[in-house]
A and B are shown apart, each in its own frame.
Chain A
Amino acid sequence: MTPLDFVVSLALISVAAGVLGSLVGLGGGVVIVPVLTIFYGVNIRLAIGASIVSVIATSSGAAAAYVRERMTNLRAGMFLEVATTTGAVSGAYLATLLPERFLFAFFGVVLAYSSVITYRKRHEDHLLTVSHDRIANYFNLHGSYYDEAEGREITYKVAGTKLGLVLMYIAGLVSALLGIGSGALKVPAMDSAMHLPMKVSTATSNFMIGVTAAASAGVYFIRGQIDPIIAAPVAAGVLLGATFGARVLGRITSRSIRLLFVGVLVVISLEMLQKGLLP
Chain B
Amino acid sequence: MTPSASQVPDPARGATPQGDLQVSGRHRNLSPAEIAAMEEKIRKIEFAISLVLRVGVILSVSVIAIGLGVMFYHHGDYTSITGHASYKTLTSRSTPFPHTLGQLRTSLAHGDGRGIVVLGVFLLILTPILRVAVGVVSFLYEKDVPMALVTLFVLVVLIGSFFLAGV
Answer whether A41 and B161 are a contact pair too, CB < 8 Å, given A53-B121, A60-B124, A64-B54. Answer: no
Asked if A43 and B93 make an inter-chain contact with CB atoms under 8 angstroms apart, the answer reads yes
Chain A residues within an 8 Å CB radius of B166: 222
Contacts of A40 in B (CB 8 A): 87, 91
- B91-115: contact bitstring with A at CB < 8 Å (1 yes, 0 no)? 1110101111000000000000011
With A79-B150, A229-B90 given, is the CB distance from A155 to B3 under 8 Å?
Answer: yes
> Nearest residue in B to A61 (C-beta to C-beta)?
B57
B53 interface neighbour in A41, A67, A152, Cβ under 8 Å = A67
**Interface size range on A against B:** 35 or more
Chain B residues near A42: list those with CB within 8 A: 91
> Which listed residue, A45, A67, A82, touches B46 by the CB 8 Å rule?
A67
- B37 lies within 8 A of chain A by Cβ: no
Complex CA–CA separation, A219 to B125 (angstroms): 12
Contacts of A200 in B (CB 8 A): none
Which chain B residues border A92 with CB–CB below 8 Å? Answer: 161, 164-165
Tell whether, in the assembled complex, residue A224 and residue B147 are in contact, meaning their CB atoms are under 8 Å apart. no
Distance A41 CA – B49 CA, assembled complex (angstroms)? 38
Asked if B20 contacts A75 (CB within 8 A), the reply is no
User: Cβ of A140 and Cβ of B18 under 8 Å apart?
Assistant: yes
Chain A residues touching B, majority SS: helix
Q: Which of A40, A60, A137 has the most CB of B within 10 A?
A: A60
A85 & B154 in contact (Cβ 8 Å cutoff): yes
Chain B nearest Cβ from A42, distance in angstroms = 5
Selected contact of B86 from candidates A1, A78, A218, A222, CB within 8 Å: A1
Q: Does B65 contact A (CB under 8 A)?
A: yes
A107 nearest CB across to chain B (Å):
22
Interface centre among A82, A86, A144 (most CB of B within 10 A): A144
What's the Cα separation between A81 and B133 when bound, in Å? 13
Query: Which residues of B sit under 8 angstroms from A13, Cβ to Cβ?
Result: none
Closest CB pairs A-B (n = 6): A6-B87, A218-B165, A228-B117, A210-B128, A64-B53, A3-B78
Sample of 20 further A-B pairs with CB below 8 A, known A81-B151, A140-B18? A43-B92, A57-B124, A60-B128, A61-B53, A61-B57, A64-B54, A74-B135, A81-B154, A82-B154, A138-B146, A144-B3, A152-B5, A153-B3, A153-B5, A210-B127, A210-B128, A211-B128, A218-B161, A235-B60, A236-B65
